[in-house]
Amino acid sequence: MRHLILSLAVFSAAVMLAGGMAGAYQVQRQQLMASTLDANEAFAAKLAKTTSDLLLRAQSNLAYAADQMERSGMAPAVQQAEVDRLRRLELGFNAVTVVDIRGIVRAAAPESLGLKGRQLDSAQWRDLVDERVSTISAPFVTVLGNLAIVISQPLFEAGGRPVGRLSATMYLRADGGLQRLAREQYFRDGTYVYVVDSSGRLLYHPETGRIGTVVLGNPVIEAVRKGRSGQMRLVNSRGVDMLAGYAHVAAADWGVVVQRPVHAALQGLNDLMLRVLGLTVWPALALLALLWLLSGWISRPLGELSQIIRDGDQEGGLRRIAAVNCWYLEAQRLRGGLLEAYGRVRTQMGELYSAANTDPLTRLGNRRGLETALKALDERRQPFAMVVLDIDFFKRVNDRHGHDVGDRVIAGVADLMRAQARQEDALFRLGGEEFLVVLPATDLDGALRIAERLRAGMERARMLGDEVVTLSAGVAAWDGGAAEQTLKAADQALYRAKQGGRNRVEAAP
């Protein structure tokens, strides 16, 4: 009886432990993959926006230079000066030219190319002259074998008649703006980024030998070619299982893809589960020792009853049986031990689930937790406001002081948010240096006051000694629509705060 009870108890505990560990593994695995997809999609969107901004900034600089030339009456000295200035800008221009209406190069930089005074191919130039707006060309291969794009701006005389075109060439394989922009992104664990145009041609890839090749049949590339943004798990052209986030670059009809191998995203999960198992083994061993003692205790009444029967003590037998401990009480204690073991496994599963919805550095909610909060806001349909915060020039903090100091700054912002928050407020870290405060039952004016207190508190905090670290904030109040739209409005307000000089608070219209 004792061995049977012990075997049953050990088997039950092992099954529950194995089931709990398997469930925890699957939950954590899905959470890691979902988090990786969300992070890759968010970073692809950010990089796509930055790429669009780079191209729009290039067009803006060309428009300014064209305006200066037109104001001077197309003076040769002004043309050359503006061409030289554009060439020196940190926009990645490899060559800048001014070509008149007849296709003759009137100014060029750098001079070492020897383009000044040359006659362009008439057919090619006639197609460009017909364009009366700023254009970004499709990628093409130059006569020297360089994969390039041309950003051009029309030139007009006082009466509005076209007199030529200002053009800037950007080599995609060279160390230009696009290469530098994509290469400077810091990734770990196999994550990488590539850029494609609308035909599926690779404009940037970490393996430079692949730049210029056309990739077809890849579902992510097909999606961005159609102007879509999102996330996807796929097997790439080399047979690697990938978690990809992708975004469309509207300024040039390109696509940015950030992807990471599945095996890299799950690399640390096995180690984590082994550590959890290691922490569970010792309590399990202690429980087995207790079960051994309990099994002897449970079997003892049967032995006592058997002894009473063997003794044949009829007179004293009834008294001795009445003195045996109650069976029901002993069974409850055994069941309680098993429930305790099960409860311990359930507690560990709950902790793992909580960790998957909490940012480990700041102990604020993460994006998975935010999804739950947004659903709750949509279901309640009650007024609220949102404040999106972003640490100004955070990359500079990391570059100057290291990532450990950067982490302390991020944790300091989280502590500042907790100090200012009410009990009903919800605090999140959206990723990197961006944070979110959800303020139930708060209008726009109240949210603006809270945002200003956070901004001022950060300015006074002096987290880096004499070096001031500041916050920019975007504020939006619920307008009766989806909570996701309120978050987007606050994020757009944050963008205006950044554009307006940082260390300030902007409200959504």
Full 3-state SS string of 256-291: EEEEEEHHHHCCCHHHHHHHHHHHHHHHHHHHHHHH
Q: How many CB atoms lie within 10 A of CB 67?
A: 13
Q: How far apart are CA 58 and CA 65, in angstroms?
A: 11
Predicted confidence at residue 182, as pLDDT, reads 55
**pLDDT for the residue numbered 337:** 43
Is-contact 224 198, C-beta < 8 A? no
- Alpha-carbon Rg of the chain, whole angstroms? 34
Residues 6+ apart with CB under 8 A from 507: 444, 448, 474, 475, 476, 493
For residue 435, how many other CB atoms are within 10 A of its CB? 26
**Nearest CA to 33 among 223, 243, 322, 226?**
243
What does each of the 509 residues of the chain score in pLDDT, given as a tens digit?
Answer: 656 666 776 777 677 767 776 777 788 888 888 888 898 899 888 888 888 888 888 889 999 999 999 888 889 999 999 999 998 887 778 889 998 888 888 899 888 778 888 887 655 555 555 567 888 887 777 766 677 888 888 988 877 788 888 988 888 765 555 555 555 554 556 788 888 888 888 888 878 778 888 888 888 888 888 888 999 898 887 788 889 999 998 878 888 899 888 888 787 777 777 777 777 777 877 877 787 777 677 666 666 666 666 675 555 655 665 565 455 454 444 344 433 534 454 455 455 556 667 888 999 999 888 998 999 999 999 999 999 999 999 999 999 889 999 999 999 999 999 998 888 999 999 988 999 999 999 999 999 999 999 999 998 988 888 888 999 999 999 999 999 999 999 999 999 999 999 999 999 98
As beta bridge partners, residue 386 has 438, 476
In angstroms, how far is CA 394 from the centroid of its own chain? 16
Looking at residue 150, its pLDDT comes to 87
- Report helix, strand or coil for 417: helix
| Contact between residue 131 and residue 152 where contact means Cβ atoms under 8 Å apart | yes
Cα-Cα-Cα-Cα dihedral sign, residues 442, 447, 449, 453? positive
**CA gap 76, 117 in Å, rounded:** 12
In this structure, the strands spanning 505-507 and 471-477 are parallel
Q: Cβ neighbours of residue 246 under 8 Å, at least 6 residues apart?
A: 41, 44, 220, 223, 224, 228, 229, 230, 231, 232, 255, 256, 257, 258
* Cα gap 247→254, rounded to integer Å: 9
In this prediction, residue 1 carries a pLDDT of 60
252 CB contacts (<8 Å, ≥6 apart)?
A: 51, 52, 55, 136, 149, 197
Position of tokens 């130039």?
Answer: 125
| Best CA proximity match to 98, nearest among 113, 80, 114 | 80
Unique residue bearing structure tokens 């940012």? 359
The residues, ordered by sequence, that sit 6+ positions from 70 with a Cβ below 8 Å of its Cβ are: 155, 156, 157, 158
CA distance 166 to 182: 26
**Nearest CA-CA partner of 222 in 250, 200, 248:** 200
C-alpha 482/C-alpha 435 separation (Å) is 20
Q: Where are the domains of the chain?
A: 2-30+270-344, 367-507
β-pair type (241-249, 254-261): antiparallel
Closest CA to 8 of 332, 251, 248, 291: 291
| CATH code for the domain defined by 367-507 | 3.30.70.270
| Contacts with 50 (C-beta within 8 Å, 6 or more apart), sequence order | 181
Q: What is the DSSP letter of 99?
A: E
CB 317 within 8 A of CB 307: no
**What would the two tokens of residue 298 be?**
């449970």
Q: How far apart are CA 64 and CA 76, in angstroms?
A: 16
